[in-house]
Structure 1
Amino acid sequence: MKRFTIDVTESLHKRIKGQCAMRGVNMADTIREMLEKAFPEPKA
C-alpha cells in the first residue's frame, strides 16, 4: 500500500466527512473506491 496525500479545501473535507459519517462508511475506503472507478486497471 502507498500513501497518497492531497490538499483539499476545508469545505470539501467537511462535506466528504459529513456524508461518510451519515452513510456510516470510512472516508479513506470511499475515496479509494472512487479512485478505482475513475482509474480502472487496464485489461490484459
Structure 2
Amino acid sequence: IPFADALDLFRGRKVYLEDGFAYVPLKDIVAIILNEFRAKLSKALA
C-alpha cells in the first residue's frame, strides 16, 4: 500500500518500507481498512 496510508503503523515500526510502499503484515491490515472506511464515512456524512 502507499506509504501515506500506513503512517500509524510506520510510527510503531510495524511495516516494511521499500520504494515508497509500505508492506503491512496481514494481522495489521485491519487498521488500514478501518482508517480508510472512517475517512470515507466522514466525507459522505459531511
Q: Judging by fraction of residues, say which structure has more strand.
A: 2
TM-score by length of 1: 0.35
Larger Rg: 1
TM-score by length of 2: 0.34
